[in-house]
A and B are shown apart, each in its own frame.
Chain A
Amino acid sequence: MLLRQIIQLSVSGIAMGFIYALVAIEYTLIWNSTGLLNFSHDKMIMLGAYIIAAVFFDKIGLPVYLCFVFSTVIMILVGFLLSNLVFIRLSKLPTIFSVMGTILIGQIIREAIRLWLGSTPYAIKGLMTGVYRMGNIAISKANVYIIVVAGLVLLALMLFINHTKIGKAMKCVNQNKNAAALMGIDVQRNIMITTAISLVVCLIIGFMLIPLYGVNLNMTSNISTKGFAAGAVGGFGYLPGCIVGGIIVGLIESISVLAIPSIYKDYVSFLVLIVVLLLKPQGILGKKA
């Protein structure tokens, strides 16, 4: 019975861990390109989920795969707009103002969604539902899809950043914007591309959250802070660190209910964050931000 419990909890913990890892990477992408801590991306995840489920699926009635394609285009455009109108400008302000700015952008996005699409939740029924059963172990298909899709996205992102011209330019901009500009890299264009990629990652996270929680105005609460914790635990600004951090946070908080009352589950990840910050501030994989 205990083994079954450990396996069940591990699967859901790893699935949530991959979500946290993607959130941490989204933090990292914006941080690396603009030096901005974006605390509005939970709302951007929500925006992605609403565009897919409410706009294209519910209102327009497209099949799910087309909803995803059109939503990707929209999110890329939103990314270009946000980077030009907000992020580039905010990144030039002192950190306290820029962080506040991103929080306010998040609130604007949330209220705009509410005014535009209403406060009634949306769902895509049948999306990633069902279970795989192995003996007395039941593994949710949604969790399996999340692990596979998130794993593929993480792999694609790492390949893109390390092996493409644009990705290498992103790394240069991260290291030194002035030097990158002197070497002929269009820094502003690079920030636009990074933000657009980040928004597409938000869309993917939002899409994967739909079967877990439906689409509502609170669907991303806690995810932002846990994603931040995942990034800091693994190594902020470092992609492999985000993955390791995400899985550690997801697993620990999930399995913790075997040992401690479930009411404390959410706090475990933050406790881990504090311990890591005290013992190894640069994160477990040891890369400096």
Chain B
Amino acid sequence: MKKFLALLMAIAMLLSATAMASEAITVGISVMKTGTSPDDGIFAEKGITMAVEEINAAGGINGRPIEIIVEDDQGTTEGAVNVVNKLINDGASFIIGPHRSASVSAVADILEANKLPYITAGTGVNLKQAVMDGLWNTLYFCKPLDSMQASIAATAVIDLFAPGKVGILYTSDAFGTGAMEVATEVFGNAGIEVQCESMNPDDKDVTGQILNFENGGCDAVLVWVHNNDMVVVARQTYELGFTTPILTSGATVLPQVIALMEEDWVDGWYAVTNYSRTSESEAVQSFRERFLERWEEEPEVMSASYYGAVYIMAEAMKNCEDPADSAQICAALENVDIQGVISRLRFHEGTHEFASEAFVCRMEGLNPIVEKAVDAG
């Protein structure tokens, strides 16, 4: 009888261990599939889905598959709070997103209280400060922060154009203002005079700002605006015959932005981006091929960034005794150092950033050509 009971127990333990090993690890995804920038969320979801499919096909995390729960946060703070609360209730061990910096700020205290790790490509300067101040210890970044990108862009303006005076055109929100402040500081340190002009998001006319740069005698202009606004700036600078050299944020090289522009508008412009389809990097080209095969469309920076976020998470989970344990994941994230698509992805203590590389591209017509890669890490 005793032998029989022992056998039963052994079988039960074996079954339990097997079940544990194959039990899916729940990962919550908060993306904006509706609202003002749904294409960002949809591209992000495609990158995440592809990465999860690849990891699961390769055997998952120590034998356990990843199961994702994707929720639409609409790109709003209320939406993000609702989504994150739902994902916590659904038992997520890790959260990817939300993307908007304001949304990240809105959910940060909730996730901090639950000690739940989350990673975002939201890159507001305020987020980095909160992490550095030790307020949000479970927040991680899979994309270089705005401050880093703006600094790279400003340095590139100095290197490329050696200007005596620089114009900065930026959107009047956190994205544009944060970059403007960083770039102004870089130019100031180099003894370069700065003229700032702003545009409101979705503004349809920037004639006044462009003419102000012309009258101000700027030798180069740094443009830091959102995707659709970049189209307006490109068209109007071209139509006004504005020939001053221009370097922009990554919006110029996005396929959905390029699709709206004409060749002459941006020919000769420069842009700083984390992802360029023309990069010769093997990681970029391999990712691009797989993405094209999976989704039949060109990937962009959001898909590349969030694809990397999944691999950062997976790498950390692999090194955990229990890959679904949030505290263990947080500890393991600090040892992550892998090659991603947009950058080498290694943990930076203090700021919780993983990516630190960017490309400076020159536009040949509508074709972004990578001039150089910059590692600000």
Contact = CB atoms under 8 A, between A and B. Distances in A.
A129 B204 CA distance: 15
A66 interface: no
A219 B228 CA distance: 9
Interface string A103-140: 00000000100100011110101100111010000101
B240 A213 contact: no
Given A120-B256, A138-B240, A214-B231, A257 B208 contact: yes
A12 B235 CA distance: 13
A123 B259 contact: yes
Interface residues of B, number: 33
Nearest to A2: B215
B198 A263 contact: yes
Contacts of B209: 257, 262
Interface string B218-253: 000000000010011001100111000000000000
B228 A218 contact: yes
Given A121-B259, A266-B200, A114 B34 contact: yes
B239 A213 contact: no
Contacts of A129: 235, 262
Contact of B208 (A126, A223, A262): A262
A9 B206 CA distance: 9
Interface stretch (B35-43, B49-57, B82-90): B35-43
A16 B199 CA distance: 16
A126 B241 CA distance: 18
B69 interface: no
B39 A140 contact: no
Contacts of A123: 259-260
A64 to B, nearest CB: 16
B207 interface: yes
Interface residues of A, number: 45
A95 interface: no
Contacts of B12: none
Contact of A119 (B38, B199, B211): B38
B243 to A, nearest CB: 12
A254 interface: yes
Contacts of A4: 211
B45 to A, nearest CB: 12
B202 A222 contact: yes
Interface string B184-209: 00000000000001111011111111
A178 B36 CA distance: 43
A217 B38 contact: yes
Contacts of A209: 204
Interface string A1-37: 1001100110011001000000000000000000000
Complex A-B, nearest 7 residue pairs according to Cβ-Cβ distance, in ascending order: A257-B208, A119-B38, A214-B260, A263-B198, A119-B39, A123-B260, A221-B202
Given A114-B38, A256-B208, 15 more contacts: A5-B215, A8-B240, A118-B42, A119-B39, A120-B39, A120-B259, A126-B262, A212-B204, A213-B228, A217-B38, A222-B204, A257-B208, A262-B198, A263-B198, A263-B200
Interface of B: 34, 36, 38-39, 42, 172, 197-200, 202-209, 211-212, 215, 228, 231-232, 235-236, 239-241, 256, 259-260, 262
Interface of A: 1, 4-5, 8-9, 12-13, 16, 111, 114, 118-121, 123, 125-126, 129-131, 133, 138, 140, 209, 211-214, 216-219, 221-223, 254-258, 261-263, 265-266
20 contacts: A1-B215, A8-B211, A9-B207, A119-B38, A119-B39, A121-B228, A131-B240, A211-B235, A213-B204, A214-B231, A217-B36, A217-B38, A218-B202, A221-B202, A222-B202, A222-B203, A262-B197, A262-B199, A262-B212, A266-B203
